[in-house]
Amino acid sequence: MPDALATPALPLSAAIEARLRGSPLVLLLDVDGTLAPIAPRPEYAALPNDTRQILADLTAAANVRVVAISGRSAEDARRLVDVPGVWIIGNHGIEVAAPGEAPSARDAVAGFADSVAEAAGRAERIADTLPGVIVENKRWTLSVHYRLAHPSVVPSLTARVAAIAKELGLALTGGKEVLELRPPVEIDKGTAAILVAEELGALADSASVLCAGDDRTDEDMFRAFRSRLPNAVTVWVGPESAVERTTAEFHVPDTAAMCELLEAVLNLRRATG
């Protein structure tokens, strides 16, 4: 549980503005549920045009770096964001891709490729018998979505997927109506975001960081930055009624408000040069 409830990020207060004036400013932004509204199926998700344009303007701004951090594969996240110049962290931190470069996976996960492939095959056979269950094979990790399935199947589905994870030596985590299978390595959005932030110079005293997300795996990122860099601006995207669930310091209610926040940050950077 958080020490205190997250407070609204909008309108930007003078205190928040002061924390975002550093150079470089690094923005670490979850994709689904933060930049793009949650869709019934992963392939239906789309980034609003206004959000994409603001991201493009931010990447073009002096001393600003934008990093999209996603549970999707790095290539899929790059396709969805579709903004040249954006860094990509995919598969909850397992993959990293600099702008214009191919993604590279962390060395520690390479030995689990066969296990993930076997898990994908088994999960797909389960999904074939359960209407509304969708398997998203991301090569290094696996997502079993049940947003479209009848709630009555979830306990059995969870037990069956947990059994696959146990038998193949994979880790099982949960998210918003999704089960995630991944290699049992000490990599998450928090560890990956800190490494990329350090590479981009964001851990220096003169730098600024804003990170935003909407799901359980984003809490790893919030905790990492609040511990390592207390001046970082951490933003949870979700309804005020559920704000007690996050360790982020601030919140906005939805993806439209997140777009508004990014526009405010862009205007701030333009005004201060």
Here the CATH number for the domain that contains residue 168 is 3.30.70.1020
122-129's contacts with Cβ under 8 Å and 24+ in sequence apart are 122/164, 123/161, 123/164, 123/181, 126/157, 126/160, 126/161
Per-residue confidence band for 68, with pLDDT thresholds at 50, 70 and 90: very high
For residue 155, is it left (φ>0), alpha (ψ between -120 and 50) or beta? alpha
76 and 137 fall within a common domain: no
Q: Which of 30, 57, 214, 220 is catalytic?
A: 30
Which of 1-10, 60-69, 84-93, 147-156 has the weakest average pLDDT?
1-10
Residue 273: pLDDT band with limits 50, 70, 90: low
Number of structural domains the chain divides into = 2
Q: Is the pTM of this model over 0.95?
A: no
pLDDT of 42 reads: 83
Q: What residues contact residue 82 under an 8 Å CB cut-off, 6+ apart?
A: 47, 52
Query: Residue 37 and residue 224: Cα distance in Å, rounded?
Result: 25
- pLDDT (tens digit per residue) in 136-158: 988 888 999 999 999 999 999 99
**Per-residue pLDDT reduced to its tens digit, 77-122:** 999 999 999 999 999 899 999 999 999 887 788 789 899 999 999 9
Q: What pLDDT does residue 3 have?
A: 61
> Looking at residue 77, which CATH number applies to its domain?
3.40.50.1000
Is 30 tagged catalytic? yes
Same domain, yes or no, for 15 and 100?
A: yes
Is the pLDDT assigned to residue 2 strictly greater than 60?
no
pLDDT in tens, 13-34: 999 999 999 999 999 999 999 9
Residue 1 belongs to some domain of the structure: no
Is pLDDT of 67 > 90? yes
Shared domain for 177 and 159, answered yes or no, is yes
Can you give the residue range of the structural domain that contains 85?
A: 7-106+187-272
pLDDT for the residue 138: 86
Residues 238 and 120 in one domain: no
Q: Which of 155, 182, 209 is the last residue of a domain?
A: 182
